[in-house]
């Protein structure tokens, strides 16, 4: 007795307000009218958590609606929260479904955002999904002259048109691989719609997003040596150099190096070797990398640095834009005629592990945190030196020291 439902009231000036039940009840004596929260330490905590979740979701929904509609009503916000057609009129049959492309995009991003909040996905990948949302919106307005399109009206030609817009018609065109990445994201969004039974099949599933990938040759080993041994006069470039070399000998992507702490140093095996182990922010796949002597040296170098003392970070790392900007300066200082960037370091690591240290492709794949060997093959190409070493090791199986063909018993 004395329990009352907790109701959220949504109001926008000049529009009829709407009410939304959050599915929780609280005793009247335990309700703080002024602060609009439950008082207490038991079930009341769960109620307040639910209130916060609903508030955050409604704010996200309102922001997304602002990007698509000039006029927003509380009913539109309520419909969006409940997964209904945004423009569904009050009293109409409420069929819980998503019927348009941008509604699907919004729903997908909302789900991904929740995973980011639970640290199951990375903020950087969320930015990529937001970027795809903007590109789709641009295409709809620029080429199709609409703000949205029903899912049932999307066919294979939509992907063809979207690709043409990105690579030919857009004011600032994208490269082939970047454009295909956007199509790949669109394909995943439509697969999301298919899984939720909003469409019967993905209409652009046959669109090929492979190929056209730019081959990134790694740094030569002597270039890595040059960068490491160069006397750099500017401290900020010294720190950038050390972070870059750290990447070259661990293979961690920028966001993962940025997030590495001493907690990621794990002792492995009977000898207690120190390894770096961390789940990739992009995929959630664990990267397991042995700490080589050069990495030990860098970790030790920054043990008294503010990055370690305040954030427990292994190395000082700037934000992505500043880091890549400083790397361009570092290339000039070191006389490296290459565009240094964080992704190049990852490719260089793969090359060092595979072709110089002789790790197998499967081992390199594990260290890079790849889901499949196929992805690793784009990073690490078997070099001539590795083939030469293997030949030197195995040619005695078929040939004598004089070069004569051996007899081999099957």
Show me where the domains of the chain are located.
Answer: 1-94, 97-214, 221-391
CB atoms within 10 A of CB 150: 12
Q: What is the DSSP letter of 355?
A: I
**In a structure prediction context, what are the per-residue pLDDT tens digits for the chain, which is 410 residues long?**
578 888 898 988 888 888 888 888 888 888 888 888 888 887 888 888 888 888 888 887 787 777 667 788 888 888 877 766 666 565 554 444 567 899 999 999 998 888 888 766 777 788 889 999 999 999 999 999 989 988 888 989 999 999 999 999 999 999 888 899 999 999 999 998 888 878 888 999 888 876 545 567 889 999 999 999 999 989 999 999 999 999 999 999 888 888 888 999 998 867 788 999 887 766 667 788 889 999 999 999 999 999 999 989 999 988 877 888 999 999 999 999 988 988 899 889 988 888 888 888 888 888 888 877 777 777 666 655 666 666 676 667 767 777 777 777 65
From CA 301, how far away is CA 296, in angstroms rounded? Answer: 8
From CA 129, how far away is CA 181, in angstroms rounded? Answer: 11
From CA 276, how far away is CA 286, in angstroms rounded? Answer: 10
- Residue 184 contacts residue 209 (beta carbons within 8 Å): yes
Asked if domains 97-214 and 221-391 share a fold, the reply is no
Which residue, among 91, 93, 100, 125, has the nearest Cα to 111 in the 3D structure? 125
From CA 29, how far away is CA 116, in angstroms rounded? Answer: 37
CATH tag for 221-391 (out of 2.60.120.10, 1.10.3720.10, 1.10.443.10, 1.20.1260.10):
1.10.443.10
Which tokens is 93 given?
């049959």
- Residue 245 contacts residue 227 (beta carbons within 8 Å): yes
Strands 37-38 and 31-32 come out as antiparallel
What pLDDT digit, counting tens, does each position of 233-270 carry? 899 999 999 999 999 999 998 888 888 889 999 988 67
- Residue 341 contacts residue 320 (beta carbons within 8 Å): no
Torsions phi, psi of 146, nearest 5?
A: -135, 160
From CA 261, how far away is CA 312, in angstroms rounded? Answer: 5
- Residue 194 contacts residue 200 (beta carbons within 8 Å): yes
Give me the CATH topology for the region 97-214: DNA polymerase; domain 1 (1.10.150)
- Strand partners for 7: 21
From CA 224, how far away is CA 248, in angstroms rounded? Answer: 8
Which residue, among 168, 167, 193, has the nearest Cα to 179 in the 3D structure? 167
């Amino acid at each position: 007795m004395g329990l009352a439902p907790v109701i959220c009231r949504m109001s926008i000036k000049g529009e009829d307000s709407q009410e939304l039940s959050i599915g929780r009840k609280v005793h009247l004596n335990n309700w703080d009218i002024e602060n609009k929260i439950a008082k207490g330490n038991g079930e009341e905590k769960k109620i307040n958590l639910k209130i916060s979740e609903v508030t955050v979701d409604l704010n996200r929904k309102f922001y997304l609606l602002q990007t698509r509609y000039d006029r927003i009503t509380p009913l539109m916000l309520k419909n969006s929260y409940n997964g209904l057609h945004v423009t569904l009129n009050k009293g109409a049959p409420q069929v819980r479904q998503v019927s348009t492309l941008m509604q699907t995009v919004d729903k997908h991003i909302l789900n991904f955002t929740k995973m980011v909040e639970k640290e199951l996905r990375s903020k950087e990948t969320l930015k990529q999904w937001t970027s795809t949302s903007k590109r789709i919106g641009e295409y709809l307005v620029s080429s199709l002259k609409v703000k949205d399109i029903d899912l049932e009206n999307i066919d294979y030609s939509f992907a063809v048109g979207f690709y043409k817009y990105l690579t030919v018609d857009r004011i600032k065109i994208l490269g082939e691989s970047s454009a295909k990445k956007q199509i790949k994201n669109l394909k995943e969004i439509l697969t999301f719609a298919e899984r939720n039974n909003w469409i019967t099949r993905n209409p652009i599933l046959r669109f090929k997003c492979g190929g056209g990938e730019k081959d990134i040759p790694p740094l030569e080993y002597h270039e890595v040596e040059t960068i490491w041994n160069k006397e750099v006069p500017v401290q900020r470039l010294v720190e950038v150099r050390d972070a870059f070399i750290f990447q070259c000998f661990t293979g961690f992507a920028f966001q993962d190096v940025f997030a590495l702490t001493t907690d990621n140093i794990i002792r492995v095996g009977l000898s207690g070797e120190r390894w770096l182990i961390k789940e990739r922010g992009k995929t959630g796949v664990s990267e397991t990398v042995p700490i080589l002597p050069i990495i030990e040296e860098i970790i030790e170098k920054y043990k008294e640095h503010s990055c370690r003392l305040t954030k427990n970070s292994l190395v000082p790392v700037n934000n992505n834009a500043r880091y890549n900007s400083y790397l361009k300066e570092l290339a000039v200082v070191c006389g490296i005629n290459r565009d240094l960037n964080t992704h190049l370091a990852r490719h260089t690591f793969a090359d060092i592990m595979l072709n110089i240290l002789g790790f197998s492709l499967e081992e390199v794949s594990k260290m890079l945190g790849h889901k499949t060997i196929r992805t690793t093959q784009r990073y690490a190409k078997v070099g001539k030196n590795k083939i030469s070493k293997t030949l030197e090791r195995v040619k005695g199986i078929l040939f004598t020291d004089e070069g004569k063909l051996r007899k081999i018993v099957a």
